[in-house]
Structure 1
Amino acid sequence: MSLWLYLHCPSLLLDSLYAPSSVQAVGLVSEQEGRLVQLSVAASTHGLSTGMGLGAAALICHQLAVYPYCAVKEQSALEQLATQLYPLVAEISLNPPKGLWLHVSPMLALYQGFTPLWQAVTQTLVESGIRYQAGVGQTPRAAELMAYGHAGKISTDPEHLQAALQQLPLAAAPLPETVKTQFTRLGLSQLGELIALPTASLTRRFPRTVVDYLAEVRGAQPTPLRYFQPPLQFFQQRVLLFELSEQAHLLPIIENLVSALCRFLVQRSACTPALTLGFSLRDGCEETLPVMAAHGEKDVERWMALVRLRLASWQVSQPVTAVSVTASQIDCHQPGQTDLFSAQQGEQNRDELVATLAARLGEEAVMRLAYVDHHRPETASQHVPYHHSATPPASAPTRPRPSLLLPQPTPLVGKVTLREGPERIVTGWWEGAPIQRDYFIAQNAQQQWLWVFRTPEQTWFLHGWFS
């Protein structure tokens, strides 16, 4: 038996983007009609209802906060919800603007029944703070109708499902109002009465779309579905109900978004080396703060430690109206594990130290040496940001180079013993500053290893020390 679960989220955009508390009266309004389309629990408690005009709503509830409804943002919220449910059910299809079909029958063997699967789905919905109506049916359309007409009555018994479908009021069907009016005139009130009519009679009385819809409900005709594929990148935004100017007030919101990112990564056995914090300001401007990790990371505590260091050097220039977290580079491989018996267990390695310094001081403040395609030793390297990669990278010298290079050569003082060389470097003649040097690796009386060279005039200079 094929089994489908349908989730209808009547306040999807409000719950996911604004996340009002149980005492905040919030509503979304259609800018075209000027009427409320989504309400928080507190707003409904005050007696407000969808379809109400703003004037009447303001008279009933003076504390009502109103925000514009955006269909594009709700589509994004629906995709985010599907992404959160994807690790539980592989076959998910979107029914915009507020619905999801979940094909649960292939997952029953894995979960050993419908009840454990349903508990996992509801736990995800509760953690997301999204209100929903659910229905189960043997076809996608039947599950959708059950969600509208018998929300909360979840059963997988075939006989019960068929009986409940027959008794479903036609007013709950997602059909045009003109068609529902025609049902009423014919004395039809339940879906079973409509299904019992011969197909030829239905074709004469109703549009072809109604006949096809009923065929999809019965399973006589397949419902065209496109299965959802989760995105390869992460983006989540939280619009603030009140403007915030203190970092201490922004941190809990950021931590909530970073936690969502880490759940996204854990579900995919993936990690990310960087995330970007986005802040929408009062004047409409956007500010972004990149945060880099030492390597691919998916731990909430480690990310939040870097985020706090990054925020310590950032000042809130204007009140913030929205916060977002973006991760564009998702890596499937995991970072290497530290040796269990290493003497440095629990200490930071080099990359972790660099990530901490970059978060505290900024990426441009942490530098490293990079090779430059130039033969003159004092100009053959340069300082670049640690995470910057040259394109294309210059090739490293084939002969040894000292770890400490003097900015300018100095005359050699004292006796040395030549150990290796010479290496002749002749360059700069095309630049008007020619040099000709014979370099040697030498050792002085203190057993220090030096990099020295001799000029054509037989003058000796010290240019660096080997570690």
Structure 2
Amino acid sequence: MLWAYLYFYQITLDTHQESGLSPVDSAHLEIPSSPVIVYCEKTNHIVQRNHAALQQGIEIGHGLAQAAALCPHVCIIPFNVDNEHLTLTQLAHRLYPLASDIVLDTHNTLAVRLDNLVHYYGGHKALWSTLTHELSQSNVHYHFATAWSIEAAKVLALKGIDRYYDNHDDIRQSLSHCPLSLTALNKKTKEALTRVGIHRVHQLLAMPVHELGRRFDNNTITYLTALRGEVFPRVKLFRPAEHFEHFALLPFDVENTQHLIPFMEKLLEYLAHYLRARNLQTSTLSFHIAFRDQPSNHLEIKSALPQSTSDSWLSLLKLRIENLVLPEPAVSLTLRCDNFEAIDDNNGDFFSNRFNDVAQKQLIGRLNAKLGEKCTFKPSISNTHQFEYMSNGPRLTKETVFSSDIVPTFLFEAPKPLTQSTQVCFGPVRLHSEWWHDAPHKRDYFIAQTRQGVRMLIFKDEASKWWAQGLFS
């Protein structure tokens, strides 16, 4: 076997700095390039810091008071294990289309099995280039290493080897230089080994198996044999969820929706990548805007036409949040999508009657995003062929409506005399009223167009007089 182990040593900091802003946007928002640290309240230690904080003398392991003394204006981000695990899961989602055997080890580490992929990629170099290219798109820092087991690769990655080894001799030589403190042995076992003069991993690997069996319990023996590559403990492989969810911690408190758009656009790009990799599209997505004290704001966006690109969703998003007022500054965003549709390639003639249908659905989606779904409705007609008894309005039930190409969008309450010049485009269609009406009539209906381009439904009655019945939009 061959496993790669990835250690994302500043994943919270990377998420904070991954704002998705261009240099122009950053200058416009006046985001300062200040020292940033990630502080763990439980241990009272600095666990992550950026380069600006390092220049101020702040090191990992310092306390909060020491960091504040070195840099009074340092930006402090609270450490949250759940947020890191969520970000790690999102990275696993990006890698899954490229490598199916992924193990989420801790909140900031994962392992990828490589030996079963080398044949498909045509070599180790092409395989590793593909994986690292995908990670580079996420703008995360990490240490990595490869070895015959997850346990051995983890030791090398924690040491920061950053080497791709596919030869057992190279792996064994690199392990020999690693200190015992990097192993996953418990504290009591490490102290016992230190007392007998074992300080390096190569000393531990050189111990005979019967000596290990006499000195340690079964769990320790299992770990040590896995570290040697003699056994391979069973692991739980990552499987992607059926829905898409991406979380983004905002690098500063955002007070208005216009400044939220760049961060939302970044999340839409992640969604577009997810859809493109799976040949999917969606017509509904939702944003959750979180605040410090107020309840989260749920923002649902619907499109009349299923979309799969970030640009198409971004235009609807801008219309949707144009009039939205935040109750207080936002601190984080979450994009979630549950309903997907497969992109069907068997669409027949791509150009046949496609433009009008797509343009109509795009217009409906933009109107819903701008005005709200309660402010728009699709006109429908009642179940009769007599225009006087038809009614345009919201659709109530499927049984009370029907569709017809000759029915106009807007009907007059009563026919009006036709007083302007028109040109007939379609017709005639002869309609007789029902026998039970008081005034039965016979009419020849036409679709006509005025000089201004307005299309009307007109008819000629039995007395050869012309009337207008409605307008087409």
With the length of structure 2 as denominator, give the TM-score of the two structures.
0.79
Question: Whole-Å Cα distance in 2 between the matches of residues 311 and 228 of structure 1?
Answer: 36
1:95 aligns with 2:100: no
Question: Whole-Å Cα distance in 2 between the matches of residues 466 and 336 of structure 1?
Answer: 36
Counterparts in 2 of 1:41 and 1:270: CA distance versus 1, 3 Å: farther
Structure 2 gaps of 5+ residues are 20-30, 419-427, 449-456, 462-466
Question: Whole-Å Cα distance in 1 between the matches of residues 260 and 295 of structure 2?
Answer: 17
1:394 aligns with 2:399: yes
1:320-331 correspondence to structure 2 within 5 Å: 320-331=330-341
Question: Are the equivalent residues in 2 in contact too, given 1:420–1:442 (CA < 8 A)?
Answer: yes
Amino acid at match of 1:383: P
2:73 match? 63
1:226 match? 236
Counterparts in 2 of 1:407 and 1:335: CA distance versus 1, 3 Å: farther
Question: Are the equivalent residues in 2 in contact too, given 1:296–1:334 (CA < 8 A)?
Answer: no
1:313 Cα deviation from its structure 2 partner: 3.2
1:280 aligns with 2:290: yes
Amino acid at match of 2:394: H
1:340 Cα deviation from its structure 2 partner: 6.2
Question: Whole-Å Cα distance in 1 between the matches of residues 133 and 32 of structure 2?
Answer: 19
1:319 match? 329
Amino acid at match of 2:154: E
Question: Whole-Å Cα distance in 1 between the matches of residues 438 and 234 of structure 2?
Answer: 77
Q: Identify which of 213, 235, 249 aligns with 2:245.
A: 235
Counterparts in 2 of 1:393 and 1:420: CA distance versus 1, 3 Å: closer
SS at match of 1:369: coil
Q: Identify which of 73, 76, 82 aligns with 2:83.
A: 73
Question: Whole-Å Cα distance in 2 between the matches of residues 321 and 214 of structure 1?
Answer: 44
1:34 Cα deviation from its structure 2 partner: 3.1
Question: Whole-Å Cα distance in 1 between the matches of residues 460 and 335 of structure 2?
Answer: 50
Q: Identify which of 363, 373, 381 aligns with 2:373.
A: 363
Question: Whole-Å Cα distance in 2 between the matches of residues 28 and 112 of structure 1?
Answer: 41
Question: Whole-Å Cα distance in 1 between the matches of residues 279 and 181 of structure 2?
Answer: 45
Amino acid at match of 2:444: Q
Structure 1 gaps of 5+ residues are 385-389, 426-435, 453-461
Per-residue Cα deviation, 1:16-55 (whole angstroms, up to 9, x for no partner): 3553799442233333333333333433343323332211
1:16-415 correspondence to structure 2 within 5 Å: 16=15, 19=18, 23-334=33-344, 349-370=359-380, 382-383=393-394, 393-394=398-399, 396=401, 402-403=407-408
1:209 Cα deviation from its structure 2 partner: 1.8
1:134 Cα deviation from its structure 2 partner: 0.5
SS at match of 1:253: helix
Report sequence identity in percent.
23
Question: Whole-Å Cα distance in 1 between the matches of residues 148 and 446 of structure 2?
Answer: 90
Question: Whole-Å Cα distance in 1 between the matches of residues 100 and 36 of structure 2?
Answer: 34
Counterparts in 2 of 1:293 and 1:420: CA distance versus 1, 3 Å: closer
CA RMSD of aligned residues (A): 3.9
Amino acid at match of 1:162: R
1:443 match? 444
Question: Whole-Å Cα distance in 1 between the matches of residues 447 and 172 of structure 2?
Answer: 95
1:91 Cα deviation from its structure 2 partner: 1.1
SS at match of 2:85: helix
1:138 Cα deviation from its structure 2 partner: 1.4
1:433 match? none
SS at match of 1:368: coil
SS at match of 2:335: strand
Question: Whole-Å Cα distance in 1 between the matches of residues 254 and 18 of structure 2?
Answer: 16
Question: Whole-Å Cα distance in 1 between the matches of residues 133 and 148 of structure 2?
Answer: 23
Equivalent pairs counted in the alignment come to: 438
Question: Whole-Å Cα distance in 2 between the matches of residues 163 and 43 of structure 1?
Answer: 35
1:336 Cα deviation from its structure 2 partner: 8.0
1:5 aligns with 2:15: no
Question: Whole-Å Cα distance in 2 between the matches of residues 445 and 245 of structure 1?
Answer: 57
Counterparts in 2 of 1:329 and 1:192: CA distance versus 1, 3 Å: same
1:185 Cα deviation from its structure 2 partner: 0.9
Question: Whole-Å Cα distance in 1 between the matches of residues 469 and 79 of structure 2?
Answer: 67
Question: Are the equivalent residues in 2 in contact too, given 1:419–1:440 (CA < 8 A)?
Answer: no
Question: Are the equivalent residues in 2 in contact too, given 1:38–1:50 (CA < 8 A)?
Answer: yes
After superposing the two structures, state which structure 1 stretch, 72-81 or 148-157, moved more.
Answer: 148-157
Question: Whole-Å Cα distance in 1 between the matches of residues 32 and 169 of structure 2?
Answer: 39
Counterparts in 2 of 1:38 and 1:22: CA distance versus 1, 3 Å: farther
Question: Whole-Å Cα distance in 2 between the matches of residues 397 and 150 of structure 1?
Answer: 69
